[in-house]
Amino acid sequence: MSQKEKSDYFNIAIRPGSTPYFPGMLSNEAMTSQKMFELVGARFEKAQIVVNFADYSNGFWSEADLLRARKTLFEKQQKHNQIQEYTDSIMGRYEKIMSILENYYTLNDSAKTKQTTIAVYGEICDHYRTLCCFAYVANILNVVRDVRADLAKYVTAEEKLDEYVLELTRNPGANFIYDHDLELIEILDSIDKTTENNLAEHSKKWHSLFMGSIGKTKPYDGINKRISMFREMTSAERTKKKEEYLETLNKVRLSQDRLENNLGLSDETKASVSIVRDIILLKETRKFCMTRIISYFDKFAEDLGGLYNLSASLSRNIMPEEYTNGYLMTGQKITESSAEAIVNSSFYIFENGIGKRYLGEQVPQMIQKYDITFTGDVKVVPKGGSQQFKKKKTYKGFVACLGKYKGPVRLVEKLDDLNDFHEGDVLVTSITTPEYAVIFDKIKAMITFDGASLTSHPATLAREYKIPAILGVEDLYSVLKNGDIVEVDANNNRIRIF
């Protein structure tokens, strides 16, 4: 990777101290560096840190990496293998953590010493951090866009193109994983097979997020509905359902094959398409594993916190090394108040695959390390970035969805204009109505003039599609024309015209 490219993708991610997860991981994949710095800033009150990063990628490979791989069939095959490898590795780490927990729970109470519990935690953290930093594929949309451009060469009827892209890139296997259905069926079958009716016993075996719902002690929306659906089925019906799923997978695969052949795709294009499907599966696998581990881990966190009278949520914010030493990195003994204090005043940096905790006073050092300069005591901007935009007029409104995007303007003054909307355009319109649904996939940022309700349908849709959106801006129909470049910075409620 050349020097230039490297600087486009900071291999660093920062998050504030308290998240419900383990030390060293991000709380939210969609979080930008900027948002994280804002959160860090908000935590320290004095320093409102606002940073305009290019982008970040917290992982071993990135979107840029992926796009570079599209050149030859050989490179594609390599990438395909790599993605498979990552997917397997994630599953491997997941299974490892599950077996560690499983073993821990088969121990006698006398064998569950403080040392054992801490050692188990250390081991889990280790696997978990590795699992987390796999597969931060920065933005799959750009890869899909690339494939779309490739497919356009084969399709004469342009209106069919999106349909083909949708069909060829979907991976229903990923959906089933996310639905948890297969595992749910397995759990319910296992309960059916025993005469044991005591749900608490089962929950020891599975200690999963489903158990609360099956035992009806804790409502878990969504999953509840699937559980009641499966519970009403007999075991044979469930098996049938499982087979149906696998059959559907097969059917989709076959229909994709047919379409690929009908369109006469070259081996290279076929490889591009399959990479997208692989990535979807990879991302869903990762999501699946992380959700599941966190839910299983809850029970363990109580044991862990119990050693120091910490709540379960506080317990997972203490680093394994701190448990081993018995002292926090501030030098204080681990107590509820000292633990809470450090969680509220520290942040984690995930750097080149290693998560580490830093204290508040280290913020300026880190900022310096990553080439960001302070201006005054309340704002941080990137070097050279503060002068650039001073003279341009900016506009503001009401932010409905956070995010930032710079791209060409497309004015939609009447519904016919929707036909001219291209992938990557910034939508500028008085108001969106249900007819706009057909372009929501393509919109990368959105500016509207009439009304600024943040709970309205347009606002909800913008968030659903993760479109940076500023509503209730002054009428820009006469100010902007199609193709003008604007930057919609919804993180700072600011629209700039270039």
Partner 1 sequence: MSIILNFDEISKNDVAKVGGKGGSLGEMTQSGIPVPTGFVITTQAYISFHESELPSKIQKQILAKFDSLGLDRVAVRSSAIAEDSSSASWAGQFNTVLNVNREGLIDAIMDCWQSSNSETVKYYAKRNDISEDQLALAIVVQKMVNSNVSGVVFSINPVTGNKEEMMIEACYGLGEMLVQGMVTPDNYIVSKYDLSIREKRISNQTQKIINTVNGTETISIEQSQQSLQKLSDEKIFKLSKLVMLIENYYGCPQDIEWAIEDDELFILQSRPVTT
* Binds partner 1 (CB under 8 A): choice among 109, 158, 159, 435: 435
CB of 472 to partner 1, least distance (A): 5
In this structure, what token pair is assigned to residue 235?
């075991």
Answer yes or no whether residue 273 interacts with partner 1 by CB under 8 A.
Answer: no
Q: Residue 432's CB: how many other CB atoms inside 10 A? A: 24
Answer yes or no whether residue 175 interacts with partner 1 by CB under 8 A.
Answer: yes
Got the DSSP string for 370-436?
A: TTEEEETTTEEEETTTTTTTTTS-EE--EEEE--EEEEEEEEESSGGGGGG--TTPEEEES---GGG
CB of 368 to partner 1, least distance (A): 28
Answer yes or no whether residue 401 interacts with partner 1 by CB under 8 A.
Answer: yes
CB of 241 to partner 1, least distance (A): 15
Give the containing element (helix H, strand E) for 486. strand 485-489
CB of 173 to partner 1, least distance (A): 12
CB of 200 to partner 1, least distance (A): 21
CB of 281 to partner 1, least distance (A): 14
CB of 491 to partner 1, least distance (A): 11
Q: Which stretch binds partner 1 (CB under 8 A): 81-89, 235-243, 365-373, 437-445?
A: 437-445
Answer yes or no whether residue 109 interacts with partner 1 by CB under 8 A.
Answer: no
Interface map 191-230 toward partner 1 (x if CB under 8 A): ---------------------------xxxxx--x--x--
Got the DSSP string for 171-214?
A: -HHHHHHHHTHHHHHHHHHHHHHSS---HHHHHHHH-SHHHHHH
Among residue numbers 444 through 473, which ones bind partner 1 (CB under 8 A)? 448, 450-461, 463-464, 471-472
Residue with tokens 């355009």: 425
Q: Assess contact for 55 and 406: CB atoms under 8 A.
A: no
Interface map 356-395 toward partner 1 (x if CB under 8 A): ----------------------------------------
CB of 365 to partner 1, least distance (A): 28
89/456 with CB nearer partner 1: 456
Calculate the dihedral angle through the C-alpha atoms of 70, 71, 74, 76, rounding to the nearest 10 degrees: 0
Angle at 138 between CA 137 and CA 140, to 5 degrees: 75
155/454 with CB nearer partner 1: 454
Q: Are strands 445-448 and 469-471 parallel, antiparallel or unpaired?
A: parallel
Answer yes or no whether residue 250 interacts with partner 1 by CB under 8 A.
Answer: no
**Cα–Cα separations (whole angstroms), residue 296 to 116, 136, 171, 353, 379:** 18, 23, 27, 24, 40
Answer yes or no whether residue 49 interacts with partner 1 by CB under 8 A.
Answer: no
How far apart, in whole angstroms, are the C-alpha atoms of residue 322 and residue 338? 12
Q: Assess contact for 36 and 14: CB atoms under 8 A.
A: yes
Residue 73: exposed, middle, or buried by beta-carbon count in 10 A (0-12, 13-18, 19+)? middle
Q: Which stretch binds partner 1 (CB under 8 A): 8-16, 77-85, 353-361, 425-433?
A: 425-433
CB of 404 to partner 1, least distance (A): 14
Size of the site for partner 1 (CB under 8 A): 41
CB of 93 to partner 1, least distance (A): 26
Would you say the C-alpha torsion 298, 300, 89, 66 has a positive or negative sign?
Answer: positive
320/468 with CB nearer partner 1: 468
* Among 411, 437, 405, CA closest to 424: 405
Answer yes or no whether residue 247 interacts with partner 1 by CB under 8 A.
Answer: no
Among residue numbers 155 through 174, which ones bind partner 1 (CB under 8 A)? 166, 170, 172
Q: Which stretch binds partner 1 (CB under 8 A): 59-67, 116-124, 294-302, 396-404?
A: 396-404
Residue 158: exposed, middle, or buried by beta-carbon count in 10 A (0-12, 13-18, 19+)? exposed
367/469 with CB nearer partner 1: 469
Residue with tokens 């004015």: 411
CB of 205 to partner 1, least distance (A): 24
Classified as helix, coil or strand, 447 is: strand
317/432 with CB nearer partner 1: 432
List interacting residues with partner 1 (CB under 8 A).
166, 170, 172, 175, 218-222, 225, 228, 398-402, 431-435, 437-438, 441, 448, 450-461, 463-464, 471-472
